[in-house]
Structure 1
Amino acid sequence: MSLTPLMNSGSPEDPSKTDNEPAAQKLNRNFRAFGILLAVALIIGTAEGIYAVVLSNRLQKVEHTMQSQLAQQDESLHRLRDRLGATEEEFADLQVDLTSTKDHLGKTQIDLRKARQMADQLAKEQKENAENLSGQLGALQQAQSSTSGTVGSLSSEVTGVKQEVSTTKQDLASTRTELQRVIGDLGVQSGLVAHNREELAELRLRGERDYYEFDLRKTKQPQKYLGGVALQLKKTDTKRQKYTLDLIADDRRIEKKDKNTNEPVQFYQQGNRVPTEIVVNQIYKDRIVGYISMPKQKQASVSGLEGSAQPAGSGS
């Protein structure tokens, strides 16, 4: 009995199976390689996209920065041009001023030469005048020696002149009161006018009129005084020494405008033929000082004090 056929029939090998297994493995390896390549390509593409975005942002920032710098440079350039234009204008003005200064300097030099010429001429004239005066002085000295003999006669004449001066002084003293009589603002001959308190005291001693001193300030209401007289100061002019006031008497208001110091301001009151007078001796800012002069006939109608004025008998 032969054993060989039995062993061959128990373990036969499929030749097609042994040929297909290497092709499948090869195909799987190809698919794996392709997947790896595809993944790598995706990773590279993603990285390139991210890099492109980052690069684009950086480029935009750089572009924005460059535009800002260009704008600043343009602005600086405009300012520089404006300053250059202003500098050119200032330079032109300086040139004009320089030209004007040169002209003035030329005129000044001409004036200086003229002044020097005038100074030389004046010095020459002064020298000539000094020589002339020297000659005249010599002549006067000679004349003095020749007139020494007439001194005695001149002394007697001087004595006569002194006597005449003494007589003139006496005449002036006698006419002093007449010189103090002036014409008032109404054209009427005034009584004696006192220029200060000492002269006013002398007038009181004469007893011809009644005198009331006042110190009147500028107020809204008139100030009342004796004899039914009220005064209201309106304004003063210390530079020109003038004043304006309103006087109220016998229910009448009279404006006395731009009156001077020591000028008799006259007005008539009922029952008097002689005017009452106001004399201002001192003028200050919004204030006057003086006196009221009333005729004696008015004294009978005086009913007492009505203000700050003081009568002659009060010793003020």
Structure 2
Amino acid sequence: MSELDATPSRSVSGALLGVVAASVLLGVGALVWSYTLSTRLNRQETALTQAKEDNAKLAADLRETNARLKVTSQELGQSLGLTQKQLELRSQEILRREQADSARLESAQRATSQQVTAVSSAVSDVKTDVGGVKTDVAKTQSDLAQAVSQLQSMKGDLSDHSSLIARNHDELEILKHKGDRNYYEFTLVKGQRKPVGTVSLELKKADAKKSRFTLDVYADDKRYEKKDRNLNEPLQFYSGKDPALYEIVVNNVSAKNTVTGYLSTPKSAPAPPSIN
């Protein structure tokens, strides 16, 4: 073979090799691209599946949330409705209380007004009564002064001493109201020693026919004999740390050896011991 025939053969062979090489490269590239595309598709499919799952979960969550919101809305509505009802009831109760308080206040005001009127009337009555009492007191004082003026003044058994005496219980009450001295009434039985005021008295003799009597007076560890005395005769003696004039007056002598009368002492004289 000549050199010319050999050259074209080598050229064709080289071209063929180039085509084969290019084909191989294209095949490899196609494979690589196909693999890459397949990988991307798989990833996209996985992401799409995950997205669908996420969307399904979100949809479920959204439905649950909507259900909860619906329940909450119903409960809130019921609560608001109940609260409104309670507010209305409370308002009605407050109104009733205010009306009741107003009624009680009006009743209390009327009662107070009536009490004030009654008190005013009572005060007027008291003023009238006080006026009447003043009049009565003035009349009593006048009657007392008149009664005192009617009492008998007699001279006692001690020289230069005379005093008003009471001849009975009523006149003794007049002397008590006069308030100048203290008076102690007594009843003595013959032979009995009896404390009267701060002294002791003992009846020794009683003559009802002659209205005369004899008695002993015990005072300050001393004995004073008042012998053969008359009714309504002041029997006088001195007694006490600072001697003061005491008087005994017998108003009645009975047939049963008993006499009744009273003891008169100054206001400054000691009081008798109390008997519990």
Tell me the TM-score normalized by structure 1.
0.40
Greater strand percent: which structure? 2
Which of structures 1 and 2 has the bigger CA Rg? 2
